[in-house]
Amino acid sequence: MREWVCENCNLVFLSEEPVSCPRCSSKKLRLKRKEEDEKSEAKDLKAGACINCGGSEFILDWKKREKICKKCGSIMPLVRMH
């Protein structure tokens, strides 16, 4: 089961593949993204020590999708670890 949000009436309901909102029959439905998912994603991106010096503190550059080690200045790509 997944959580869906109706964009018309904001009803949140559980369904696998809903066709329309159970309350207002609107077909404007979107999957609800859980906050925890976003948080753990950010954690993933920050995780991992510097490959050069093993340091764990980084300056994150989201625009360039890079992280810079505070210790040695190494630049590493900010990518999802999966």
**CA-angle at 15, arms to 23 and 31, nearest 5°:** 90
- Residue closest to 59 by CA, chosen among 44, 43, 48, 46: 46
Site for Zn ion in 25-44 (CB under 5 A): 26
Judged by CB under 5 A, the residue of 2, 23, 32, 46 near Zn ion is: 23
Between 1 and 40, CB nearer to Zn ion:
1
Under the criterion CB under 5 A, does residue 68 sit at the interface with Zn ion?
no
Task: State which amino acid sits at residue 60.
Answer: L
Under the criterion CB under 5 A, does residue 24 sit at the interface with Zn ion?
yes
Between 40 and 56, CB nearer to Zn ion:
56
Q: Which helix (H) or strand (E) holds 80?
A: none
Q: Which residues contact 38 (CB under 8 A, 6 or more apart)?
A: none
* Residue numbers at the binding site for Zn ion (CB under 5 A): 6, 8-9, 11, 21, 23-24, 26, 50, 52-53, 55, 69, 71-72, 74
